[in-house]
Amino acid sequence: MEEVLDNAVQMRIDVHVAYIGQEVPCYRLYVNDELFSERKYKFESDTYLSEQLFVKKQPGDYKIHIESQSDFKYKLRNLRCAYGEVQITGNDKFKINKPRWWST
């Protein structure tokens, strides 16, 4: 696992469903415009999924967004960094700063 984390930050965000129906909901999770996850999951009431995203350490601003592939509505909550150094700048946004040792 260390090889993966040497070159990446590990972000986590909770996916909550706002509508629970009979079908199995499907969503896509993006970081900026890059697809990171597509998932079908039958949510029970008062449950959520905690998504784990490994983002390559490139300085910049990042935004996580979710796209429903069904009639279900989703909310993203509790963005946090599990490994690495980032600045959380919003409910679904974070920033990777350029390290001091990194040459220009």
List pLDDT tens digits, range 46-78.
778 899 999 998 999 999 999 998 888 889 999
Q: Does residue 73 form part of some domain?
A: yes
pLDDT confidence of residue 98:
75
From the list 54, 60, 56, the residue with the least C-alpha distance to 96 is: 60
Q: What residues contact 85, with CB distance under 8 A and at least 6 apart?
A: 9, 96, 97
Query: Total structural domains in the chain?
Result: 1
Higher per-residue pLDDT: 67 or 97: 67
pLDDT confidence of residue 1:
47
Q: Domain of 49: which CATH number?
A: 2.60.40
Q: If you count them, how many residues does the chain have? A: 104
Q: Which residue has the tokens 């008062």?
A: 46
pLDDT confidence of residue 32:
96
**Rounded to whole angstroms, how far apart are CA atoms 53 and 35?**
11
The encoded tokens of residue 62 equal: 């990042």
Q: What is the pTM of this model?
A: 0.83
Whether 43 contacts 20, CB under 8 Å: yes
Owning domain of residue 91: 2-96
